[in-house]
Structure 1
Amino acid sequence: MKTPQKSAEAGSSPPVKQLLDEPETVTTIDTGYRIDLYNVACLSDEEIWTSGHGSTMKLYSINQRSLLKSITTKSWLYPSDIAVTKSGDLVYTDYGDRTVNIVKNKKIEEVIRLQNWKPRSVCSTSSGDLLVTMESDDYKQTKVVRYSGSTEKQTIQFDDQGKPLFSSSSYHITENRNLDICVSDCVGRAVVVVNQAGNLRFRYTRHTPATKNLPFSPRGITTDSQSHILTADYNNACVHIIDQDGQFLRYIECGLRDPRGLCIDTNDNLFVAQQTNSLVKKIKYLQ
């Protein structure tokens, strides 16, 4: 693992919370996807958006565990990723259609249309920008692009030696409280973290031994109020928690099965989308 370079915290520090000795499942929501569940995004502490292998994105009540709303993608293709903007709008990437779209009042607005690239994952930053991971049509290159609306502001693709930061098919992206950009690189079997300027801070390649001691397979990624980075390890059926400098803290297991998408609400509850049984687990891991 590369020696981490420190990154300044953004804004005031939140109250310090400790990791629970035993994380616990609070509730489980059956999303009803018949094939695969891929993504989950918190709209609020009471509602979550989900998406899977199908063109329908579903909004669920967490407490009632009931479906509140469904939105079908404009192209009728399944969304590669979903996120919620600062203003509470749903944003999704359409890999097959080469677009990034925002849903406002049930109306879908195309924000970004790409050429020679296809969008993979998306997150909404603290400043209101969108960060989008995308791969080239020949599947040989991956980059992160920052957008303000539909305007491209920044491209992150190479390190200071001109080598690619990411392998192909980087699945998910998030922004930490310290404004670091965190990408789960499934093919590269690493979590790649760069600072706001796009300079590499560290690569996390797993703590050994992993729970099942299978190859690290990072998928969903999210961060909490403590600037912890959490990533779903599909192969090992767990979630890794590392600190903002890449040091391993603990695993979350909680009987997880094929964990894929992750998100965290304002109370630091973790939501895990389980791919093959289409369940979302709400997990408490901080006190």
Structure 2
Amino acid sequence: MSVPEFHQSLTVRSVDQCFNISCLTSDRVWVSDGDNLILTNITGATIHRVENSCIGSCGGSHTVNSESELIYIDVNYNIKTLSKDMKSTSTYIENTDYPWRPQCVYWCPSNGDLLVGMYRNFTETGKVIRFNQSGKQTQTIQYDNKGMGLYNNLICLTENNNGDVVVSDAESISECGTLVVTEREGRHRYSYTGHPPRSLLLTRGICTDALSHILVCDHRTKSVQMLDKDGYFLSHLLIRPPGIFTPHSLSYHTNTHRLWVGSVYNTKLCVYRYIARHDTLSDMNPASAGVMESLSVVPYKETKKHLQEDERLLKLMSTIELFNFFTRQGVDGCYHISCVISNLFWVSDADNLILADTAGFPLHHVDDLCRDLYGGSHTVTSESELFYIDRNYNINKLSKNMKTTTTIIEKKDSTWLPGCVYWSPSTRDLLVGMFREKILSGKVNRFNQSGQQTLTIQHDSTGLELYRYANYITENNNGDVVVSDADGAIVVTDREGRHRFSYTGHPSGSGLDPRGICTDVLSHILVCDVTDDTVHMLDKDGHFLSYLLTKSQDIDIPCSLSYDVNTHRLWVGSWYNNKVCVYRFTDRHDALTDDSTFPLLNDE
């Protein structure tokens, strides 16, 4: 199957995150969060709780054997076995190897061995120990053929169908790491550090499937990456999946061929199917090789085509002009910009909201701006009125003459708070990005001119959450609602709230740290990416067109955007200083021909 098929989701109770999951049956799974280890079912209800599980583990601290017994690391770093009926616990392996301690475990279906990832805190080094069914140590894997240590901080481990030992390893719990693969005998085969080569990989949960693919969660790109058994990248199986946002834990159920995926940020578990029955029956024979070949070839053909299109587009867009630049007093950074007219604009940092002219001088200061927001906290109407979020999380309107302030939308729900606003020129509605603090999640509310709420956008068609933190919001010419989510995506829905697409960087799955967004007269979507200090240009359907600005150009770390519909100029504000640049990138002919955007892209 080329695209994973969503099967179901559940919200697990009695845990705060899904750090590790171990499938017990098709409808029961063990879940841990670092403090709790529970058995749950597809309703999310707690069936059983293990009272003495290891505290502080964010990795593979438990596994299940073929007898449905739970094997887990306890609070004293002994390895315990919980019986199938969950009535008796026995010590399988006592920890006597101080200062080494077990950090992750995996039971091998092929021979009944137990693989244990060990960690030594003083030297920040790791090793893998193999125990047979009697609990006797039979192997240690620690060094490559040059005597160099293979592991630092083992997070998860598993075994592939060919006997390879696969370890998710990190230099420290917060730094990037490596997928380390050795043969059954312990000889180092390869280490995978991300796609493309030499990119960073923030490894977390891993598993293998019936076709010997290796799946790994990467926090940096918020994706699940699929490799073949020899470590060659095949695809991003999932990229910032709705509801989960950042995949952290994986478990492959061998009977149903379904993949369970857990989130690092919440208690959501999602189940996917991506292997058809024909594929699973063809494993380890030439037909399987054909499946793998198709997976590896298709993405590269698509990438090549996109590169050719990008080259043509870059030539076309090389005429982007710097029209003006200036610094303005009264703010330390340009977190958000709202154009009023061609020479007046509102600009905010974390503490201040001022009206300035192109000479950079402050003309008015809003005293009650909310000081806990770092995104699109204000917007301007066609009558030059200012809407902004105040320090009490009310939404106020400041009149054009700046003499009257009116509360338009009063905060009534302490659970949900406004984080960003946008006034729609087409409908005169107000779009408000909302967030929830304790369990960070988001939604978009639409209010009409009377301040009446008319729409809430929160879930996709499967009922999964679309947003984690809506930081900036805008509307495209076709009515699409475009949200810059601080969790690493541009999330686009149609006017009615149906999810159209999510953009997670170029190439897809490469990672995105989005900030300010806007759309232009040609329905392009522009987004600041502070990961690489660029401004991305997308078409209205989410296809990457070009890097409109790069770090080598006039502004350092673009953070905020505002498009002046009258002059067709783009205002760009810097994250770390008070510089604003004004660019022109569409000529008058383009602005009058919306549906003929970039005809060169259609040439073959």
Determine if contact 1:58/1:67 at 8 Å carries over to the other structure.
no
Partner of 1:67: 361
1:86-105, aligned counterparts within 5 Å?
86-94=382-390, 96-104=391-399, 105=401
Give the one of 129, 144, 159 matched to 2:460.
159
Give the one of 261, 265, 274 matched to 2:564.
265
- CA drift of 1:26 comes to 1.7
Partner of 2:521: 225
- CA drift of 1:209 comes to 8.9
Partner of 2:269: none
SS at match of 2:443: strand
Determine if contact 2:555/2:579 at 8 Å carries over to the other structure.
no
- In the alignment, the residues of structure 1 paired with residue 362 and residue 332 of structure 2 have an alpha-carbon distance, to the nearest angstrom, of 21
The answer to whether structure 1 residue 237 and structure 2 residue 537 are counterparts is no
Partner of 2:506: 207
Gapped regions of structure 2 (runs ≥ 5): 1-237, 240-314, 588-604
Letter of the structure 2 residue corresponding to residue 228 of structure 1: H
- CA drift of 1:205 comes to 1.1
- In the alignment, the residues of structure 2 paired with residue 269 and residue 128 of structure 1 have an alpha-carbon distance, to the nearest angstrom, of 22
- In the alignment, the residues of structure 1 paired with residue 365 and residue 494 of structure 2 have an alpha-carbon distance, to the nearest angstrom, of 34
SS at match of 1:165: coil
- In the alignment, the residues of structure 1 paired with residue 316 and residue 354 of structure 2 have an alpha-carbon distance, to the nearest angstrom, of 31
Deviations 1:114-173 (A, max 9, x none): 222111111111211100001013242200000113211110000110000111x22100
1:100-115, aligned counterparts within 5 Å?
100-104=395-399, 105-106=401-402, 107-114=404-411, 115=413
- CA drift of 1:280 comes to 0.9
Determine if contact 1:98/1:117 at 8 Å carries over to the other structure.
no
Q: Between Structure 1 and Structure 2, whose CA radius of gyration is higher? A: 2
Cα RMSD between the aligned structures? 2.3
Determine if contact 1:73/1:79 at 8 Å carries over to the other structure.
no
1:244-283, aligned counterparts within 5 Å?
244-251=540-547, 252-253=549-550, 254-266=553-565, 267-283=567-583
- In the alignment, the residues of structure 2 paired with residue 262 and residue 204 of structure 1 have an alpha-carbon distance, to the nearest angstrom, of 18
Partner of 1:25: 322
1:76-95, aligned counterparts within 5 Å?
77=371, 81-94=377-390
- Identify the range of structure 1 (277-286 vs 122-131) with the bigger mean alpha-carbon deviation: 277-286
Gapped regions of structure 1 (runs ≥ 5): 3-17
TM-score, with structure 1 as normaliser: 0.84
- In the alignment, the residues of structure 2 paired with residue 39 and residue 269 of structure 1 have an alpha-carbon distance, to the nearest angstrom, of 16
- In the alignment, the residues of structure 2 paired with residue 59 and residue 119 of structure 1 have an alpha-carbon distance, to the nearest angstrom, of 22
Partner of 2:200: none
TM-score, with structure 2 as normaliser: 0.41
- In the alignment, the residues of structure 2 paired with residue 221 and residue 34 of structure 1 have an alpha-carbon distance, to the nearest angstrom, of 20
- In the alignment, the residues of structure 1 paired with residue 464 and residue 331 of structure 2 have an alpha-carbon distance, to the nearest angstrom, of 41
- In the alignment, the residues of structure 2 paired with residue 137 and residue 237 of structure 1 have an alpha-carbon distance, to the nearest angstrom, of 28
The answer to whether structure 1 residue 45 and structure 2 residue 342 are counterparts is yes
- Change in Cα spacing, 1:78 to 1:48, as seen in structure 2 (3 Å) is farther
Partner of 1:193: 492
- Identify the range of structure 1 (25-34 vs 267-276) with the bigger mean alpha-carbon deviation: 25-34
Determine if contact 1:33/1:53 at 8 Å carries over to the other structure.
no
Which structure has more relative contact order (CA 8 Å, sep 6+)? It is 1
- Change in Cα spacing, 1:131 to 1:235, as seen in structure 2 (3 Å) is same
Give the one of 449, 454, 473 matched to 1:173.
473
- In the alignment, the residues of structure 1 paired with residue 405 and residue 524 of structure 2 have an alpha-carbon distance, to the nearest angstrom, of 33
- CA drift of 1:33 comes to 4.1
SS at match of 1:74: coil
- CA drift of 1:75 comes to 6.0
Deviations 1:21-52 (A, max 9, x none): 24232211212245332111111122211111
Partner of 2:76: none
Partner of 2:590: none
- Change in Cα spacing, 1:269 to 1:33, as seen in structure 2 (3 Å) is same
Identity over aligned residues, as a percent?
Answer: 29
Flag the structure with higher helix content: 2
Flag the structure with higher strand content: 1
